[in-house]
């Protein structure tokens, strides 16, 4: 650019929906709105149902009527929801911290250290990712039961630590 030239800004022409590009854009917005509706509709019905009185949950599920927090209070007190949330938090924090710790150690060993059988061991670790959780569920429960850990934090956390 020479000294006497100055940069100029040109206004971008606003897009309309009558061009092929605009039709594509309208189609994208329609698709996004449709997917958003499909994803958010169950959330909406769940929230509306949780705010209705217990005997009116199934009546006019789409149209909100009278709202009450009675069902949520009952779930919190009678259903011990607070205790269940605390249990979930404890198990999630313990399992996450331990898995991050062991994963960092394993990643360091595979990335930095050279040892015989490293590739075979890595392939074994990767192969275990192919085993679904459901395939090990009964075996894990039997192990937890034989250790006497049923209904304990250890029984919830230890099978998922490694």
SS3 10: coil
CA distances to 5, 140, 146 from 86, in Å? 67, 23, 26
Assign residue 90 a region: left if phi > 0, alpha if psi is -120 to 50, beta otherwise?
A: alpha
Average pLDDT over residues 12-34: 80
pLDDT(55) > 90 = no
pTM above 0.85, yes or no: no
Query: Tokens representing 63?
Result: 């149209």
Q: What is the pLDDT of residue 21?
A: 80
Q: Measure the CA–CA gap between 138 and 153, rounded to whole angstroms.
A: 18
Residue reference for tokens 């938090």 = 89
The pLDDT tens digits of the residues spanning 74-112 come to 888 888 888 999 999 999 999 999 999 999 999 999 999
pLDDT(1) > 60 = no
Q: Is 157:95 a contact under the CB 8 Å cutoff?
A: yes
Greatest mean pLDDT among 32-36, 43-47, 105-109, 155-159: 32-36
Q: What is the pLDDT of residue 74?
A: 86
Q: Measure the CA–CA gap between 146 and 88, rounded to whole angstroms.
A: 23
Average pLDDT over residues 5-22: 67
- DSSP assigned state of 55: G
């Amino acid at each position: 650019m020479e000294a006497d030239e100055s940069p100029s800004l040109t206004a971008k022409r606003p897009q309309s929906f009558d061009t092929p590009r605009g039709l594509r854009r309208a189609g994208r917005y329609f698709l996004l709105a449709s997917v958003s509706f499909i994803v958010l509709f169950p959330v909406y019905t769940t929230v509306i149902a949780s705010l209705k009185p217990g005997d009116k949950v199934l009546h006019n599920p789409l149209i909100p009527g009278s709202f009450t927090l009675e069902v949520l209070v009952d779930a919190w007190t009678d259903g011990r929801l607070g205790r269940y949330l605390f249990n979930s938090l404890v198990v999630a924090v313990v399992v996450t911290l331990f898995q991050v710790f062991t994963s960092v150690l394993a990643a360091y060993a595979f990335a930095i250290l050279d040892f015989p059988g490293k590739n075979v061991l890595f392939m074994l670790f990767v192969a275990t990712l192919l085993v679904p959780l459901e395939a090990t569920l009964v075996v894990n429960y039997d192990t937890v039961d034989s250790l006497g850990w049923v209904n304990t934090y250890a029984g919830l956390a230890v099978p998922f630590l490694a």
